[in-house]
Amino acid sequence: MNFKITIEKRQTSKIAEFYPENIGFGKIFTDHMFLANWDGLEWKDARIVPYGPIPLSPATSAIHYGQSIFEGMKAFSHSHDKGIHLFRPLENWMRFNISAERMVMPYVPKELYIDGLKTLLKLESAWVPKNEKGSLYIRPFMFATDDFIGVTPSKTFIFVIFCCPVGPYYSKPLKIKVEETYSRSAPGGVGYVKCAGNYGGAMFPTLQAQKEGYDQVLWTDPLTHTLIEETGTSNLFAVINGEVITPPLSATLLSGITRNSVIKGLRHLGYEVNERPLSILALKNALNDGSLAELFITGTAATLVGIQGFGHRDAYFDVMDQGNNAVSTHIKTWLDNVRHGNIPDELDWNVKI
Ligand SMILES: Cc1ncc(COP(=O)(O)O)c(C=O)c1O
């Protein structure tokens, strides 16, 4: 399947307003965006236009019923070949379609997703930060556009990709609150997909945790609230007695691409990694007997960040006080080096545009 992509260029680039030293996260958008429309039968009108508002009817069904999904991925500037490389883009494309299927949305062919992405990035290559801390965050998303307020799957959709040059999402180790009252998802629900509602529903508990001095919520399993799942933006890893542990995938947590890269990367570097259930009790016991060395989170936006400590009920448990960052520092450095092209890409993860 071939899609002809038309390009309407912005007259004057906004790049002069862009300060690579202090870009923060998610506030600066590049000059262009990619769009395509599903008319109920096929994808049409693949186009790149200047970044800007998309006119919508107030009855647009995504706004009312949440048929809306997204991805988060990154491109990096490589020093050795001066090229722009996407990190594991096919993984995001596949997860996007898993989300689309669950939310009764059309399949997005690889050619549309990847060619749209590459054509857009070729145009925006000057926006990819050249420093080691920066990258270009890419947000592909799709939402229902039917002008109809009956509760039924939309027939029409729009697929969009825009980009933001970004720095680190978190600037310091995090304090996380073990959540036992609220649930992010439930068995049979949509926790394993990247649909917009998962994030809207998490905002209230996250805000409560922030008022209590935490940075993020650590979600627990929705049935017993005893097993660790993930945080609001990332997956979690623990290092106990030299074993790296991360909760197994299930219908209630997101299968992070960084999680998968960290598991594969650690095994490649010779570590033992197990995907197995991890309870709050086991975590507290490991902290008490001194066997818990590290807790860290992984995500495309979050990258890889250490956990300072966690709050459970009324008590706070500091992990970094007694731990070390040996494993997380090793894998973070290795992953950063692979993504920035500083070392050979032995697992074949970078895709040059
Ligand atoms: C809820 C949740 N869990 C985990 C992740 C990490 O996924 P990834 O590594 O693919 O970015 C994210 C980020 O997208 C997320 O939103």
For residue 230, the ligand 1 atom closest to its alpha carbon is: 3
State in words which class domain 6-167 has: alpha beta
Q: What pLDDT score was predicted for residue 203?
A: 98
Distance (Å, whole) CA 33 – CA 327: 38
Distances (CA, A) of 152 to 64, 65, 169, 297: 11, 9, 36, 37
Q: Please say whether the beta carbons of 157 and 142 come within 8 A.
A: yes
Pocket probe mutation, ligand 1, options 94, 137, 235, max atoms within 8 Å of Cβ: 235
Pocket of ligand 1 (CB under 6 A): 72, 230, 232-235, 254, 256-259, 298-300
Expressed in angstroms and rounded, the spacing between residue 338 Cα and the centre of ligand 1 is 20
Q: Please say whether the beta carbons of 325 and 260 come within 8 A.
A: no
Q: What pLDDT score was predicted for residue 21?
A: 67
For residue 184, the ligand 1 atom closest to its alpha carbon is: 1
Q: What pLDDT score was predicted for residue 1?
A: 67
Expressed in angstroms and rounded, the spacing between residue 247 Cα and the centre of ligand 1 is 14
Residue bearing the CA closest to ligand 1, atom 8: 256
For 174-339, CATH number? 3.20.10.10
For residue 259, the ligand 1 atom closest to its alpha carbon is: 9
Q: What pLDDT score was predicted for residue 133?
A: 84
Q: What pLDDT score was predicted for residue 246?
A: 98
Distance (Å, whole) CA 140 – CA 95: 11
Q: What pLDDT score was predicted for residue 19?
A: 67
Q: What pLDDT score was predicted for residue 303?
A: 93
Expressed in angstroms and rounded, the spacing between residue 256 Cα and the centre of ligand 1 is 5
Q: Please say whether the beta carbons of 33 and 48 come within 8 A.
A: yes
Q: Please say whether the beta carbons of 86 and 73 come within 8 A.
A: yes
For strand 32-38 and strand 157-166, is the pairing parallel, antiparallel, or unpaired? antiparallel
Expressed in angstroms and rounded, the spacing between residue 351 Cα and the centre of ligand 1 is 20
For residue 92, the ligand 1 atom closest to its alpha carbon is: 10
Handedness of CA 315, 319, 246, 217 (dihedral sign): positive
Q: Is 121 exposed, middle or buried (0-12, 13-18, 19+ CB in 10 A)?
A: buried
Expressed in angstroms and rounded, the spacing between residue 194 Cα and the centre of ligand 1 is 8
The β-bridge partners of 158 are 37, 143
- Reading the chain (353 residues) residue by residue, the pLDDT tens digits are 678 999 999 999 999 887 666 788 888 999 999 999 999 999 999 999 999 999 999 999 999 999 999 999 999 999 888 899 999 999 999 999 999 999 999 999 999 999 999 999 999 999 999 888 899 999 999 999 999 999 999 999 999 999 999 988 898 999 999 999 999 999 999 999 999 999 999 999 999 999 999 999 999 999 999 999 999 999 999 999 999 999 999 999 999 999 999 999 999 999 999 999 999 999 999 999 999 999 999 999 999 999 999 999 999 999 998 878 999 999 999 999 999 999 999 999 999 99
Distance (Å, whole) CA 255 – CA 209: 24
Distance (Å, whole) CA 268 – CA 95: 24
For residue 254, the ligand 1 atom closest to its alpha carbon is: 3
Residue bearing the CA closest to ligand 1, atom 4: 234
HSE at residue 65, side-chain half, CA atoms within 13 A, is: 18
Residue at 167: amino acid letter = G
Q: Which structure tokens are listed for 105? A: 């949305």
Pocket probe mutation, ligand 1, options 231, 258, 335, max atoms within 8 Å of Cβ: 258
Helix (H) or strand (E) holding 123: helix 110-123
Quickly count helices (H) and strands (E) in the chain: 7, 18
Residue bearing the CA closest to ligand 1, atom 13: 233
Sorted by where each begins, the domain ranges of the chain are 6-167, 174-339
Expressed in angstroms and rounded, the spacing between residue 137 Cα and the centre of ligand 1 is 13
Q: What pLDDT score was predicted for residue 223?
A: 96
For residue 301, the ligand 1 atom closest to its alpha carbon is: 11
Expressed in angstroms and rounded, the spacing between residue 140 Cα and the centre of ligand 1 is 14
Pocket probe mutation, ligand 1, options 91, 261, 300, 304, max atoms within 8 Å of Cβ: 300
Q: What pLDDT score was predicted for residue 322?
A: 82
Distances (CA, A) of 63 to 119, 150, 154, 185: 29, 12, 12, 20
Only one residue has tokens 């995500």, namely 299
